[in-house]
Homo-oligomer: A and B are copies of this chain.
């Protein structure tokens, strides 16, 4: 398979480009460049000019905001089939957050200029982008709601409920308590307390590689609990 078909395959899985006719998809794929990053490598730095939109082929990354003391809020974890930096590109703004690879990662970068040109030409692309941006905004709204209206315990419960495939959250190597804490808008110590609280109540059990959910209904209830 040639490079362009490969790119088209990856990109077609991304919501942003889903449902496009083959022709448009190839046009996008034609200008995309593949890049690899190792764990810990920085892909984007907040404030730098936006180079383009990224689609993840393989591996996981985190998109973050941080203050200058170095405390960071993870906006979201980004995995295969997802895109990032789309907001920066379409809002015509510098990178709105920092993105760091959490494991060895392969991404396709669609340069900003070309993407905007394609957006002009193809209405179908524009419509797909509308939907994916609206969904991004929906997600951000739920993050605001979480941070402002819910306790750390409730946020943790929600995180577990959403991430729980089957009976628990199988943790990848990078899913450390520090990362989860940053995602929930708190610090590792506090997260640890919350985790152990839930463990003592028998709702979950925690081991190094996995968090098992024992009482999903009750966990759901906690997730809706207000501070």
Which residues of A are interface residues toward B (Cβ below 8 A)? 65-69, 71, 73, 75, 86-87, 89-93, 96-97, 119-120, 122-123, 126-127, 129-131, 133-138, 140-141, 143-145, 147-150, 185, 226
B150 and A67 form a contact (CB under 8 A)? yes
| Besides the known contacts A90-B131, A91-B137, A126-B126, 18 further A-B residue pairs in the complex with CB atoms under 8 A apart | A65-B144, A66-B149, A67-B149, A69-B226, A73-B149, A87-B138, A90-B133, A90-B134, A92-B134, A96-B138, A96-B141, A129-B130, A130-B133, A136-B137, A140-B144, A143-B144, A144-B144, A147-B147
A133 in complex: contacting residue of B68, B123, B133, B185, CB < 8 Å: B133
Residue of B whose beta carbon sits closest to that of A93: B138
Chain B residues with Cβ below 8 Å from A96 are 138, 141
- Determine the distance from Cα of A96 to Cα of B140 in the docked complex, in whole angstroms: 11
Chain B residues with Cβ below 8 Å from A69 are 226
Q: Looking at A67, A185, A226, which has the most chain B CB atoms within 10 Å of its CB?
A: A67
- Determine the distance from Cα of A141 to Cα of B134 in the docked complex, in whole angstroms: 14
Known contacts A119-B127, A134-B90, A226-B71; is-contact A97 B65 (Cβ 8 Å): no
**Nearest 9 pairs of A and B residues by beta carbon:** A126-B126, A91-B134, A90-B134, A123-B123, A140-B140, A67-B226, A133-B133, A148-B185, A73-B148
Residue of B whose beta carbon sits closest to that of A96: B141
Closest Cβ of chain B: how far from A43's Cβ, in Å? 17
Chain B residues with Cβ below 8 Å from A67 are 149-150, 226
